[in-house]
Homo-oligomer: A and B are copies of this chain.
Amino acid sequence: MTHANTRPLVAVDWGTTSLRAALLQAGQVVAERESAQGILAVPAGGFPQVLQALCSDWLALPQALCLISGMAGSAQGWALAPYCPCPAGFADIAQHLHWLEPDRMALVPGLSCEHAHAPDVMRGEEVQIMGALALSGRNSARMVLPGTHSKWAQVHNGQVTSFQTFMTGEVFAALRHHTILARTLPEATMATELDTTAFTQAVAQSLQAGNLLHQVFGTRTLSLMHRASPQALLSHLSGLLIGEELRAQAFEKDEEIFIVGSPALQQRYQLALAVCQVQSRCWGAQATWHGLQAIASSLT
């Protein structure tokens, strides 16, 4: 009998605008590749060819297992892998895999959970959560996965028990580019460096005052009255939004939050959590590969 964690793993993270893949041997990442062919750039029925073009050699390895997470498992992707309801852990996700080729290639399902007013969903982040858990050696943690849609997830005994989505990144972009605030903010987002003072002051302001629809207008008036530079205002706006996201969290004493995301977002959330006097620990892109490996390992 072959144990899954001894098989080569072709780990694939296939999102809306990018495709990344890694080869893991005995649980270690030995190579990584990427392409710009996110699911929006793949014609109908073209998913197998695109994947083969990126890593046919890896897929041809004896006993190779391929696990694909992200939007490739959505209705707009390769095939629909229905959401796995919370609470869900490694084994539940493994059980809900959508097999494209039996025991060879599968789509990882996203997770869903129910709130009072509406359901919530994630697709791709569940793998990062599992990876951060595996890398940390812990089986309980509270995590934030910042981004276009930030996810806050609670993990108990290896299971995601609940999570909440915040449209923080997307609202930031919409305010910055598609409202009156665009007139006074600098053009490029990512090229501009964070003004940490303006950012942390805005986080504190947002935590204290709430009232987001009013506070963001200050980004306009501070500029109108020449009281802040465009550079500082961009950091100010980011701080207001991330502060509003943190305001929705109830932190426990001595709690340590896991931040899983890009270095730039890790920095912002670490600074913002420090304003709340909350410790944090960061995990990067490797969390995805180790999450897929952990799911592979739970297949027997």
Q: A: which residues have CB within 8 A of B?
A: 115-121, 149-150, 164-168, 170-171, 173-175, 177-180, 205, 209-218, 221-222, 224-225, 227, 241, 244-245, 248
A29 → B minimal CB distance (Å): 31
Selected from B115, B118, B244, the residue in CB contact (under 8 A) with A213 is B244
Selected from B119, B174, B178, B210, the residue in CB contact (under 8 A) with A225 is B119
User: Which residues of chain B are near A171, meaning CB under 8 Å?
Assistant: 171, 174-175, 179, 213, 216
Selected from B118, B178, B215, B221, the residue in CB contact (under 8 A) with A178 is B178
Please judge, given known A-B contacts A166-B214, A214-B165, whether A221 and B174 are in contact too, CB under 8 Å. no
Please, how many angstroms separate the alpha-carbon atoms of A148 and B224 in the complex?
18
Structural contact, A221 and B118, CB atoms closer than 8 A: yes
Given A118-B221, A164-B214, 12 additional A-B pairs, CB 8 A: A117-B205, A117-B218, A118-B218, A119-B227, A167-B175, A167-B213, A210-B210, A211-B248, A212-B212, A212-B244, A213-B241, A214-B248
User: Which residues of chain B are near A245, meaning CB under 8 Å?
Assistant: 213
Nearest B-chain residue to A211, judged by Cβ: B248
Please judge, given known A-B contacts A117-B205, A209-B116, A248-B214, whether A180 and B170 are in contact too, CB under 8 Å. yes
A229 → B minimal CB distance (Å): 14
A88 → B minimal CB distance (Å): 17
A-B contact pairs, 28 of them (CB 8 A): A115-B218, A117-B205, A117-B209, A117-B215, A117-B218, A118-B215, A119-B218, A119-B221, A119-B227, A120-B217, A121-B221, A121-B224, A149-B217, A150-B213, A164-B214, A166-B214, A166-B217, A167-B175, A167-B179, A167-B214, A167-B217, A170-B179, A170-B180, A174-B175, A210-B248, A211-B248, A213-B244, A214-B248
**Closest 8 pairs (CB-CB, A-B):** A118-B218, A174-B174, A166-B213, A211-B248, A178-B178, A165-B217, A174-B178, A119-B221
Please, how many angstroms separate the alpha-carbon atoms of A245 and B149 in the complex?
23
User: Which residues of chain B are near A174, meaning CB under 8 Å?
Assistant: 171, 174-175, 178-179
Please, how many angstroms separate the alpha-carbon atoms of A178 and B182 in the complex?
14
Please, how many angstroms separate the alpha-carbon atoms of A174 and B181 in the complex?
12
User: Which residues of chain B are near A217, meaning CB under 8 Å?
Assistant: 118, 120, 149, 165-167
Please, how many angstroms separate the alpha-carbon atoms of A221 and B215 in the complex?
27
A169 → B minimal CB distance (Å): 10
